[in-house]
Amino acid sequence: MANFDTSHVKNIVLLGHAGSGKTTLAECMLFEAGLITKRGSVEEKNTIGDFYELEKERGNTIFSKLLHTQWRGYKINIIDTPGYDDFAGEVLSALRVADTGVMLLNANFGVEVGTDIIWEYTEEFKTPMIFAVNKLDQDKADFDRTVAQAKDHFGRNLVVVQYPLNPGLEFNSIVDVLRMTVYEFPPEGGKPKKLPIPDSEKEKAERLHKELIEAIAENDEGLMEKYFDKGELDEDEMKTGIKKAMINHDMFPLFCISAKKNMGSGRLMGFIDNVCPSANEMPPQISKSGEKLNCDANGPTCIFIYKTTAEPHIGETSYFKVYSGTVKPGMELINESNGVTEKINQLFIVESEKRTPVNELVAGDIGATIKLKHTHVNNTLHSRGKNYELEPIAFPTPLMTVAIESTQKGDEEKLSLALHQVQEEDPTVIVEVSKELHQTLIHCQGELHLSVIKWKLEHIAKNLQVKFSKPRIPYRETIRKSVQSNYRHKKQSGGAGQFAEVYMQVEPYYEGMPDPKGLNVRGRDEYKLEWGGKLIFLNCIVGGAIDQRFLPSILKGVMEKMHEGPLTGSLVRDVRVSIYDGKMHPVDSNDISFKIAGLKAFKQAFQQADPQILEPIYQLTVLCPDDLTGSIIGDLQTRRGVIEGMDTEGHFTKVSARVALSEMQDYSSSLRSITQGRAKFRMTFAEYAPVPFDVQRRLIDEYNKVAKEELVS
């Protein structure tokens, strides 16, 4: 493959709601450039991009793919992305390294919810954007409605560059108001005829041409002056103005295509290489330390890892963008995150699943290497003597949690290794081994994401079968009244025995509470519990009834019982324990005796102190179209949700509520079902709160039933 300098490399990411035609457009671009001789189709399951069996089965892109093409002296790197929000991590990693986004709109449906969600990500990155209205060849295609919705959602910076002459089943012509010409395509698509604009369209075309020029001029004072002087801008001036406005996120040009018929893709590619910015025309990267890093092939070498995949017999493939310098095989680069030196043994350009070795990659280019042992997604590698660490990708927080286990005994280690690989490839997957719940948990983005995780696990490890279940809820236990108790531990079995007697007062703890009445506090220890809440341990002993040296043992007994509350075996929080009296024996008293006495006295007091189960409460925000608000509120009320209010956020209605975690375990799939995927949500932990009486009774009964069954078995 020919070498390209930095200014002749363009990096684009194809974006849009599922089914908008991204993979089909990528196929067109490769075909137009002559890299493939026949266009595949999603329906025939033979596209270059969707090569995984799971993608062929589902008919949708699930994993982002890196492709590349050559067009009129430029190399265009293309990243095709999935359209479902469950795979937001794939979109975010692609946006991190792309210099232009191409947002596809389905002319049949207008602006869909996936488009809105992805748009928020592009706003975070301030990615220069192009819009392309696709599927104009279909019966229900409505260009004007789609553009009106797009302007309503994305603002007046969206400017029409092309519009279709005849959308629908007979679609074959596009009016280009930048070049003021008509492109008429043959039935098989491909290279069009260039024709003059017909008289019937001149007024509309000239109006849109003027709107385009004014939008360009208002973002550039120099061009504004030329426009006032001449009343017009030439094509080169317009291209310069559009590029500057795109870089500043002040203009989003809109084009027309039919990816299925291969109509309009060549013009779009021409605009990408002529107008869209190269990496060296974008603002410099800013390192974590605030240092600027210009995209210069002659600068110090610096690459950023944005994605990894694992393949049998090869190991990990690391995908990266060169942000500075030139990378060559044999180079040794420092991983800024861990200080490890990594040797770049091989370099590749990538065509989906195909890798082609190359001798170098310059600043601005995207490629891959293999077998980096200590390098992961979000790591920066740089030349020795530099300390660059580029800003990492902020991946979305999980929305769904399930417990996972292997169905066959003995496969635990196999499962653990497979989960590690899944997590390495997909940073939006978080694996947690919960000591508290005695479960391995997977935190992910939703049902579809989970099904892909299951597919990955079963393909990574042969004969590995897994099952998912609901995770246990991390309840807490506390008390509501003050109780005094005592316990005598006495054991005699020949020789030295065991003896300890402990008197304690157990109270519910709250910040700022006064010292206990009638007791003389001689020592105070405060423990901030790792599971939340506090334990306050007071020494109120007078007269030496118990030696000071036995107090740590009493505390140890109390703490041991706090790890397994008497109601449901949950962790105990927010109690104050005052040791105010006791007895000891000069021979038989020892640490173990006082630990047992402390544990038993605390358990006895806790059960008499009006114990209360607490449940985790989450702050929930649902973003949805206005017409779905009623259905969402109704569903939340069936989940014991407390609605706190409604507001607007962008083009969504925002519903705020507080909901118990135990009621939200199927919420991701339920919300998708209720709204046909037109809503999204986020949850953050808020507090622990008392469960209702009937729920407490049920939880205690369930715990006692399980305890009895385990005792019998």
Q: Centre a 10 Å sphere on the Cβ of residue 589 and count the other Cβ atoms it contains.
A: 24
According to DSSP, the β-strands at 100-106 and 9-15 are: parallel
Query: Would the pLDDT of 395 be above 60?
Result: yes
Q: Which amino acid is located at 426 in the chain?
A: D
| Overall average pLDDT of the 311-334 stretch | 91
Segment 186-206 shows an average pLDDT of: 94
Q: Write down the pLDDT at residue 579.
A: 97
Residue showing tokens 């979305």: 396
d(CA 12, CA 67): 10
> Could you give the dihedral angle defined by the CA atoms of residues 111, 113, 115 and 118, in that order, rounded to the nearest 10 degrees?
160
Of the ranges 122-126, 202-206, 310-314, 498-502, which one carries the lowest mean pLDDT score? 310-314
**Which pLDDT belongs to residue 495?**
67
pLDDT tier at 219, thresholds 50, 70, 90:
confident
Where along the chain do the CATH 3.30.70.240 domains lie? Answer: 614-695
Residue 467 has pLDDT above 80, yes or no: yes
Listed in sequence order, the residues at least 6 apart from 265 whose beta carbon sits closer than 8 Å to its beta carbon are 25, 28, 29, 32, 257, 259
Segment 107-131 shows an average pLDDT of 91
Confidence (pLDDT) at 484: 96
- Closest by CA position to 110, among listed 137, 142, 139, 158: 142
> Is residue 460 pLDDT above 90, yes or no?
no
- The pLDDT > 70 percentage for the chain reads 99
Q: pLDDT per residue over 574-631, tens digit each? A: 999 999 999 999 888 999 999 999 999 999 999 999 999 999 999 999 988 888 999 9
Q: What is the pLDDT of residue 415?
A: 93
pLDDT at 679: 84
> Which phi and psi angles does 140 have, rounded to 5°?
-100, 15
How confident is the model at residue 2, as a pLDDT?
60
CATH topology for the 285-379 domain: Elongation Factor Tu (Ef-tu); domain 3 (2.40.30)
Query: Which pLDDT score, from 0 to 100, does residue 595 have?
Result: 97
Q: Which fold has domain 477-609?
A: Ribosomal Protein S5; domain 2 (3.30.230)
| Structure confidence at residue 665 (pLDDT) | 87
Non-local CB neighbours of 256 within 8 Å, separated by 6+ positions: 132, 133, 136, 143, 162, 163, 164, 174, 264
The model's pLDDT over 669-694, given as tens digits with 9 standing for 90+, comes to: 899 889 877 788 889 999 999 999 99
Q: Give the type of residue at 575.
A: V
Pick the CATH number of 614-695 from 3.40.50.10090, 3.90.1150.10, 3.30.70.240, 3.40.50.150: 3.30.70.240
- Checking if the pLDDT of 131 tops 90, the result is yes
Residues of the chain with CATH 3.30.230.10: 477-609
The pLDDT of residue 227 is 73
Does pLDDT of 707 surpass 80? no
Beta-carbon contacts of 705 under 8 Å, excluding residues fewer than 6 positions away, are none
Q: In this predicted structure, what is the pLDDT of residue 709?
A: 74
**pLDDT tops 70 at residue 372:** yes
Provide long-range contacts, Cβ within 8 A and 24+ apart, for 583-586.
583/488, 583/499, 583/500, 583/501, 583/545, 583/546, 584/499, 584/500, 584/501, 584/545, 584/546, 584/547, 584/550, 585/497, 585/499
Looking at residue 386, its pLDDT comes to 87
The size of the chain, in residues, is 713
Say if residue 101's pLDDT is above 90: yes
Q: Where in the chain is the domain with CATH 3.30.70.870?
A: 400-469
| Tokens matching residue 629 | 């608000």
Q: Give residue 591's pLDDT.
A: 94
pLDDT band, residue 494 (cuts 50/70/90):
low
The CATH class of 400-469 is alpha beta
Query: Looking at domain 6-195+250-281, does it have CATH number 3.40.50.300?
Result: yes
Residue type present at position 223: L
Given a cut of 80, whether residue 170 has pLDDT beyond it is yes
Q: How many CB atoms lie within 10 A of CB 445?
A: 25
Q: Where in the chain is the domain with CATH 2.40.30.10?
A: 285-379
Residues of the chain with CATH 3.40.50.300: 6-195+250-281
Report, as an integer, the average pLDDT of 454-483: 92
Q: What is the DSSP string of 453-488?
A: HHHHHHHHSTT--EEEEPPPP--EEEESS-EEEEEE
Would you state the pLDDT for residue 206? 95
pLDDT band at 712 (very low <50, low <70, confident <90, very high): low
Position 162 confidence tier, pLDDT thresholds 50, 70, 90: very high
Name the burial class of residue 529, with classes exposed (0-12), middle (13-18) and buried (19+) by CB atoms within 10 angstroms of its CB. middle
What 8-state DSSP symbol labels residue 611? E
DSSP assignment string, 351-412: ETTEEEE-S-EETT-EEEEE--TT--TT-EEE-TT----BPPP-PPPP-EEEEEEESSTT-H
User: Would you say residue 465 has pLDDT above 80?
Assistant: yes
Encoded tokens for 373? 């042992």
pLDDT at 532: 94
Distance (Å, whole) CA 691 – CA 454 = 34
What's the pLDDT score for residue 76? 95
Q: What is the pLDDT of residue 517?
A: 92
Q: Which two tokens stand for residue 393?
A: 């990708």
How many angstroms separate the Cα of 389 from the Cα of each of 124, 290, 334, 340, 679?
A: 19, 10, 11, 14, 36
Average pLDDT score over the chain: 92
pLDDT at 1: 53
pLDDT digits (tens, 9 = 90+) for 222-278: 888 887 878 788 888 889 999 999 999 999 999 999 999 999 999 999 999 999 999
Residue 713: what pLDDT?
57
